[in-house]
Each structure stands twice: as structure tokens, then as C-alpha cells.
Amino acid sequence: MAKQQRKTYRGVKNDKERTMGKLVQAVGVVLEEKGYTGLTIANISRKAGVDRKLVTLYFGSVENLVETYIKDKDYWVAATVGAMEYFGQSPKEGSKGFLESLLTNQMKEFAKNQEMQKVVLWQISENSDIMSKVTQEREKMSALFFAFADREIGPDKLDLRAITSILVAGIYYLVLHSKNTDSLFCEIDLTTEEGMKRIEDAVKLILKWTYDSVEIPPVSAN
């Protein structure tokens, strides 16, 4: 009898997890098809093929469901997990290579993720509690990286926060421009691999100039 009860409990748990997964996936489909204004409990539950009451039962609210989806897909939230492991190992490679990798990967990942493109458009077009919470999660990466860079370079030698802000924002804008317009940008065709490669090379060059502008103490062997 006890064995049968365990099997039944596991089945209920698996059904819940499958339903939650369907709802999270449905958020992405609705976002891509209808944009952020279409993220209603009716649209999401209909696309998932489940009772709309389960959104509240499993997530508390449609806002929490959407937040769960965005955090699961957001590049910076996901990258924070890897960064915690990286910085926890006291790396000796320096911050430049890590930042270069973060920014070039940001461009590649954002360029192929249509749902997150709509999320960023949502973030900059209206005030939203959901996006405020996601932004706070993204800032965890900033806290990790800049603390490491400050120890390496010194907080007063270089305003790496301002430079990184410009690069991150520029990448977001240029990718959105390439996906939503047919025009050139500074005579660069951003819809081509060659055009985006020029932007990637420019990011690397800007970081080289940035780090070359300050004297970075050698990493201690201890």
C-alpha cells in the first residue's frame, strides 16, 4: 500500500511539473506571436492547453509566470551562474577577457532570440514591475564582475561601469535595429554576418583601448 502511495504522489508531482513547463513555454510563444501586450492569463493558458486557474495555482499570478519565463531565458541572469563559479575560483586571467566574452556572447545570443528581443523592447517602452525585478537579477552579474575588476584595476583608475553600460546598450540597440529595419547603420549592413562581425571586432577594440589606458598591477602568484 505504501509503495502505491509513493507512485501516486510522484505522478501528481510529474503532472504539475509538466503543466508548469507548458505554461512557461507558452509565455514564449505568446510573446513571439502577440508581443508583451498579449501576455494575458487567457492567451497563455489557451496556448498551453491547460485550465487558466492553474496559472494562479502554480505561479500565484500571471506576472510571476512571466517573470519565471524571462529569468529562465535572460542571458545575463543565466550568465551569473557561470560567473559565480568563475570568480569563486579566484581567476588569474584578468577581467578583460571575461568581459569581452560576456559582450560578444550577449550579441550572439540576443541576435537569435526573438522572444528576448521583444522583452527588451518591453523593458524600455514602459514601466513594469516584472522588468524591474529582472533588472535587479541582472545586477547580480554587475556586482560580481565589477568587484573583481575593482580589485584588479582599482575603482578610481577607470570608469569601467560607464564604458560597459555604453557597450551593453549599444549591442542591444544595434541588434534590435538589424531585426526591425532594412536600413544601414553608419553605412554598415547589420543584417549580414559581415556587418555584425564588424561590431564584434569594434567591441574588442574598444575594450583593448580601455584596458591599455591604465596600468594594471601584475597578478600575484600567491
> Is residue 46, in this structure, part of any structural domain at all?
yes
In whole angstroms, how far apart are CA 8 and each of 12, 15, 58, 161, 181? 6, 11, 19, 53, 54
> Is residue 220, in this structure, part of any structural domain at all?
no
Average pLDDT over residues 105-125: 89
> Is residue 195, in this structure, part of any structural domain at all?
yes
Could you tell me the pLDDT band of residue 65, with boundaries at 50, 70 and 90?
very high
Which residue from 195, 175, 197, 179 is spatially nearest to 187, judged by alpha carbons? 195
Q: What is the pLDDT of residue 1?
A: 47
Whether residue 80 sits in one domain with residue 55: no
Domain of residue 6, CATH code: 1.10.10.60
Indicate the residue among 43, 63, 83 that finishes a domain: 63
Cell numbers representing residue 144 in the block: 560580481
Average pLDDT, the chain: 86
> Which residue is listed with cell 549592413?
189
> Is residue 18, in this structure, part of any structural domain at all?
yes
Q: What is the pLDDT of residue 10?
A: 56
Indicate the residue among 13, 43, 63 that finishes a domain: 63
In whole angstroms, how far apart are CA 148 and each of 32, 95, 103? 37, 7, 17
Quick check: 13 pLDDT over 70? no
What's the chain's length in residues? 222
Average pLDDT over residues 59-71: 91
Q: Which residues are CB-contacts of 83 (< 8 A; sequence separation ≥ 6)?
A: 98, 141, 144, 145
**First-to-last CA distance in the chain?**
60
> Is residue 16, in this structure, part of any structural domain at all?
yes
Whether residue 113 sits in one domain with residue 26: no
Quick check: 57 pLDDT over 50? yes
Quick check: 212 pLDDT over 80? yes
Average pLDDT over residues 141-152: 90
Whether residue 147 sits in one domain with residue 172: yes
How many domains are contained in the chain? 2
Quick check: 222 pLDDT over 50? no
Q: Which residues are CB-contacts of 47 (< 8 A; sequence separation ≥ 6)?
A: 26, 29, 30
Report yes or no on whether pTM surpasses 0.75.
yes
> Which residue is listed with cell 568563475?
86
Q: What is the pLDDT of residue 128?
A: 81
Structural domain that includes position 112: 74-212
Whether residue 27 sits in one domain with residue 100: no
Distance of CA 91 to the CA centre of its chain: 23
Whether residue 95 sits in one domain with residue 147: yes
Query: Could you report the per-residue pLDDT of 161-190, keeping only the tens digit for each?
Result: 999 999 999 999 999 999 888 889 999 999
Whether residue 40 sits in one domain with residue 118: no
Whether residue 131 sits in one domain with residue 193: yes
> Is residue 218, in this structure, part of any structural domain at all?
no
Distance CA 102, CA 2 (A): 51
Whether residue 117 sits in one domain with residue 174: yes
Whether residue 106 sits in one domain with residue 79: yes
Please tell me what DSSP assigns to residue 113. Answer: -
Q: What is the pLDDT of residue 12?
A: 56
In whole angstroms, how far apart are CA 99 and each of 8, 27, 67, 79, 198? 49, 31, 26, 12, 18
Q: Which residues are CB-contacts of 20 (< 8 A; sequence separation ≥ 6)?
A: 58, 59
Could you tell me the pLDDT band of residue 219, with boundaries at 50, 70 and 90?
low
Whether residue 122 sits in one domain with residue 177: yes
Whether residue 123 sits in one domain with residue 51: no
> Is residue 191, in this structure, part of any structural domain at all?
yes
Q: Answer with the residue of higher pLDDT: 156 or 20.
A: 20
> Is residue 68, in this structure, part of any structural domain at all?
no
